[in-house]
Amino acid sequence: MSQSEVARIREQIAAEYQSVQQVFGGFTPTAKHEFITQRQENLANHFEELKEQVGPEEAMRIFIQMSEQRSN
């Protein structure tokens, strides 16, 4: 497991969550939907990368932790 690779993926996940939070400030409803759909697809890809680095259980733990941090 590469700590730097995990850190890179975590940063990408955080950026996706931040992008989703910012989208609600000015896009049309259709653009919002398309934008959020793309962010979800990106998050799924990051999750797959993370699973390769740390395994499925740890990847899920990291994702949940980051999701909870973003919702607070």
Please report, as a single letter, which amino acid is at residue 40. Answer: Q
Name the band, by pLDDT with cuts 50, 70 and 90, for residue 48: very high
Nearest 5°: the CA angle 42, 27, 10 is 25
Give mean pLDDT, residues 39-51: 93
Q: Which of 69, 47, 72 is nearest to 58 (CA)?
A: 47
The stretches of 1-72 forming alpha helices (DSSP H) are: 3-23, 29-54, 56-71
The residue extents of the domains of the chain are 3-71
Between the alpha carbon of residue 64 and those of residues 61, 67, 70, the distances in Å are: 5, 5, 10
- pTM equals 0.70
pLDDT digits (tens, 9 = 90+) for 2-31: 789 999 999 999 988 888 777 666 656 666
Are 35 and 23 contacting, i.e. CB atoms less than 8 angstroms apart?
yes
